[in-house]
Amino acid sequence: MRDLKEIAHHYFERLLNGKDLTVCDEVLAESYVDHAAPSGSLRGPEPTKTHVSQMFREIPDLKAEVVDILAESNKVAARVRWTGHCQDSGDPSEKEGIVILHFNADGQMVERWSAYS
């Protein structure tokens, strides 16, 4: 199995810092579930691409930093810090949280849990 920490770090870097939504199609399995998404959300990469596109509209200079990353078996835990400025007000926006990612044997994400403050 590929190095899951590397896959996760690459995913965050391309998606959030590179604003490359195509990485969702590569890394997220068709059965992917984001447990932090609203109840009844669809599975797969499309809901994530929609959500992240909205984030880019609200915080156009959004950047993410993977502060810590750990892996065990088929799961990765990362502490991620997001920074940027709100489009409407120009006010700074900063969040930090923990993301747990579950991968299948092919190195694709199948589940995500998160908590941000």
State the pTM of this model: 0.91
| Whether pLDDT at 1 is above 60 | no
pLDDT at residue 5 in the model = 96
Q: Where are the domains of the chain?
A: 4-116
pLDDT at residue 117 in the model = 87
* Encoded tokens for 43: 């599975």
Q: Is 54 left (phi over 0), alpha (psi -120 to 50) or beta?
A: alpha
Q: What are 76-116's pLDDT values in tens digits? A: 999 999 999 999 999 999 999 999 999 999 999 999 999 99
H or E segment at 9?
Answer: helix 4-12
Beta bridge partners of 75: 72, 102
4-116 folds as Nuclear Transport Factor 2; Chain: A, (3.10.450)
By 3-state DSSP, what share of the chain in percent is helix, strand and coil, each rounded to 5?
30, 40, 30
